[in-house]
Amino acid sequence: MVNFSLDGKVALVTGAAYGIGFAIAQALAEAGAKIAFNCRSVEHLEAAKAEYARLGIPVRGYICDVTKEDEVAHMVADIRENLGVIDILVNNAGIIKRIPMTEMSVDEFRQVIDIDLTAAFIMAKAVIPDMIQKGHGKIINVCSMMSELGRETVSAYAAAKGGLKMLTRNIASEYGEYNIQCNGIGPGYIATPQTAPLREKQADGSRHPFDSFIISKTPAARWGTPEDLMGPAVFLASDASDFVNGHILYVDGGILAYIGKQPK
């Protein structure tokens, strides 16, 4: 029988105060996992804890900057003491800066790389030793279609997400023998607060040009929702994916498979 249950498992989802991370944490909880999450804002932390409570999901929430090794080590130790060894790590925390490359400062570029890529390295490094000792572990990196494609104004984000794809494959290569599976989820264009500016209605009530562009490029003819990522996350976190390693599961409504419509 296929086992999608996460009963008794401990899951840490970074950046899970809202959006994609929140949906993934909710899905893992509904499959039976004990949930820990972090964010960098007390306001977001308290709002998220209240929303989890409203859904009946017990959580441990942390203020933690995932680009800081000492803060990550403290968070992981506290989770180990209070919930148990982390079985499932979801590296979801991330930012995007939509700035033309020649106008982007080096500091802005480095900030995106640090949060979207280096933090995933720091987090994985912190949990892998316990996973090796326990004899199993699941690491899920939230990648992107920008792990495969480029687009104007997202040079840092594309570089980070491309790097995250290869970090995923390398963790799988280096630690697969210890029964650790590291895979990625590559969301397409998902309707979240982060993408809200791209979906704003124009003054005349028409769609934002980028909104129209995405709809035209997506065979599903819609933006994704955070809920679309819940099933894939449970699959990659569960025993059902024990022989899936180093894979990026794109949840994009078919964009990467589609060349687009012929102009009329």
103-157 confidence digits (pLDDT tens)? 999 999 999 999 999 999 999 999 999 999 999 999 999 999 999 999 999 999 9
Exactly one of 157, 175, 189, 250 is catalytic; which is it?
Answer: 157
pTM of the model: 0.96
Would you say residue 123 lies in a domain? Answer: yes
- 21 residue type, one letter: G
Would you say residue 198 lies in a domain? Answer: no
Rounded Cα gap, residues 13 and 36, in angstroms: 6
| Active-site annotation holds for 157 | yes
Rounded Cα gap, residues 236 and 33, in angstroms: 13
Instruction: Decide if pLDDT at 264 tops 80.
Output: no
| Domain ranges, residue 144 | 10-190+224-256
Give the pLDDT of residue 198: 86
CATH of the domain at 125: 3.40.50.720
Would you say residue 141 lies in a domain? Answer: yes
Which residue in 56, 246, 224 sits closest to 138, CA to CA? Answer: 246
Number of domains making up the chain: 1
